[in-house]
Amino acid sequence: MLEKVFLILTVVLAIISISTTKLRRAVIYLGLFSLVISFTYLLYSAPDVAIAEAIIGSALSTILYLVALKKFQVFTIYYTNYDYNEINYDHVTVRRGQILKDIEKFYVDREMEPQIIYTTENFKHILKTKNYDLLIYQKHSDFYIYGFEKDYQLDAIEGYFMNEDHGNLDINIIRCKEGEYNDA
Q: What is the pLDDT along the chain (184 residues), one digit of tens a residue?
A: 888 999 999 999 999 988 987 777 888 888 899 899 999 999 999 999 988 888 887 777 778 777 776 666 778 899 888 777 665 555 554 445 677 888 888 888 887 888 888 888 888 888 888 888 899 998 877 889 998 888 888 888 888 888 777 667 788 888 887 765 555 4
The pLDDT value given to residue 164:
74
- Spatial distance between the Cα atoms of 37 and 96, rounded to a whole number of angstroms: 50
What does pTM read for this prediction?
A: 0.60
Please tell me the predicted confidence (pLDDT) of residue 94.
Answer: 46
Backbone torsions φ then ψ of 114, nearest 5 degrees: -75, 125
Q: How far is CA 180 from the centre of its chain?
A: 24
CA distance 20 to 126: 38
pLDDT at 106: 86
Helices (H), ranges, the chain: 2-19, 23-43, 47-52, 61-72, 89-93, 97-109, 123-129, 152-163
CA atoms within 13 A on the CB side of 52: 5
> Cα-flanking dihedrals φ and ψ of residue 117, to 5°?
-110, 115
Give the count of beta carbons closer than 10 Å to the beta carbon of residue 176.
17
